[in-house]
Amino acid sequence: MIAQTMDRIGAIFDADNHYWEASDAFTRHRDPKFMDRGLRVVEKDGKLRYYFGEKPHPILPGPGDAHGRPVPGSLLDYFAGKASHDPHNSQLWSEAPAAHPEWFNRDARLKVMDAQGLEACWMFPSHGVCIEGPMRDDIEASLHIISAFNRWIDEDWGFAYQDRIFGVPLLSLSSLDHALAELEWVLSRGARVIALRNGPVFTQDGPRSPADPVFDPFWARVEEAGVTVTAHIGFEDGYEAVDAAIGRLWGLDLEGKTKTISVGHAGSFGFDAQLIHMLQKHRLISDFAAVLIAHGLFVRFPRLRVAFIENGGMWVGSLLHSLQVSHAQNPGMFAMNPVDQFHRNCWVAPFVEDDVADLAKHLPVERILFGSDWPHAEGVGEPRDFFKNLASFSAADQQRIMKDNARELTFA
């Protein structure tokens, strides 16, 4: 049945594809005066590595073409909770970048997309989504480096290459004027999808809600242009204070300075850090979506389209339940039903290991996106493997999820 449906649907549209960043991705277009600020690319122990000041990036080793990469899909069972492999085991990072031009070159990627049966894809950074948070103490450098990175994306991948590869530029609201100028530039270069960090906005005056009316000129232009805004998971230290507060309240040791209460072994990160990770797993994305709704963004801009990518889908039901309860208990808290707002303005790409049928209990099929996360280790080995997650759906609904929804968001 699935095979027949796959044949009938034909080429699919992947809302979560990735490249690996080349060594000059963050430096090619940087002004020399920013070379020692924000994210730095430096040689250490014979390898190019990412640094912030004198500290290495908390999770990224360095440029994608300078380090071994994992086999696509090799950690699917780990992230699904079916295996205990350490994702930082060096044996997993064994693929030589030079053997995979499709991870770095758009024409080589098109050939692979043809073989994989992909009509088109949204192409996200692998490392770029993990840099804004650690640069929050130097907003000027952060904005410059993100802009320089967007120029690299445009040159190497394009924002709408052959209307098949839609490289997703990164934008930041840390400066409204800068955000407006950068938005106009990416629109002039053909961007149809943009990305914002899903978290509080870092500004010179402290953190702010992305739905604060001060940012309305940006959202008005986004709505006018009809581009889709995505919130893709990345490295987020905007919630460090929340993690620390929870740690203090429960007597957890997140830095390994004292003896833990653990009764077992929790791998290289330690028991307490793993416990915090479990407690916080869906907190940020759920809070982000709730704040957009609670602060009236979709009431002021009813035609905005926000897609939550690689943040999973299991948080949606709980959030919508909480929003509905608050709406019923506090008449007038929301200008319109918050669940209706989410259903009208929001799309969700579940994790490849999620129960998509469960997500569909809370979200219309027209709002569910297929994303393979290829070529990442936590994704599927082949994009079309995702069809297995849709066995209980009708053929029409499978086509919606695997193709039509992303296509409509891109070309509408």
Sheet holding 228-232, edge to edge: 170-171, 193-196, 228-232, 306-309, 346-348
Would you say residue 265 has pLDDT above 60? Answer: no
CB 21 within 8 Å of CB 34 = no
Q: What is the pLDDT of residue 1?
A: 59
Q: What is the pLDDT of residue 397?
A: 97
Choose the weakest-confidence range: 48-52, 149-153, 265-269: 265-269
> CB neighbours (10 Å) of residue 255?
11
- Residue 346 DSSP symbol: E
Mean pLDDT to the nearest integer, 249-256? 78
Average pLDDT value over all residues in the chain: 92
- Residue 254 DSSP symbol: S
Cα end-to-end distance, the chain, whole Å:
31
Choose the weakest-confidence range: 5-19, 85-99, 340-354: 85-99
Mean pLDDT to the nearest integer, 19-36? 97
Would you say residue 92 has pLDDT above 80? Answer: no
CB 42 within 8 Å of CB 53 = no
> 103 in helix, strand or coil?
helix
Q: pLDDT per residue over 352-391, tens digit each?
A: 999 999 999 999 999 999 999 999 999 999 999 999 999 9
CB 289 within 8 Å of CB 367 = no
Mean pLDDT to the nearest integer, 159-180? 98
Q: What is the pLDDT of residue 208?
A: 96
Using alpha carbons only, give the angle 285, 288, 291 rounded to the nearest 5 degrees: 150
Answer yes or no: CATH 3.40.50.300 is held by domain 12-238+281-411.
Answer: no
Distance CA 134, CA 142 (A): 9
Element (H, E) at 165: strand 165-167
Q: Which token pair is 181?
A: 């100028």
Based on its alpha-carbon atoms, the radius of gyration of the chain, rounded to whole angstroms, reads 21
Of residues 82 and 153, more confidence is placed in 153
| pLDDT category of residue 267 using cuts at 50, 70 and 90 | very low
Distance CA 226, CA 205 (A): 30
Mean pLDDT to the nearest integer, 161-176? 98
User: Where do we find the tokens 């969700």?
Assistant: 348
- Closest by CA to 276, choosing from 266, 287, 289, 286, is 266
Mean pLDDT to the nearest integer, 123-136? 95
Q: pLDDT per residue over 171-222, tens digit each?
A: 999 999 999 999 999 999 999 999 999 999 999 999 999 999 999 999 999 9
Neighbouring residues of 232: CB distance < 8 A, sequence distance ≥ 6: 16, 124, 129, 168, 195, 198, 309, 310, 311
- Specify the pTM: 0.93
- Residue 161 DSSP symbol: B
Residue type, 292: L
Distance CA 2, CA 99 (A): 32
| pLDDT category of residue 4 using cuts at 50, 70 and 90 | confident
Sketch the domain layout of the chain as residue ranges.
Answer: 12-238+281-411, 242-274
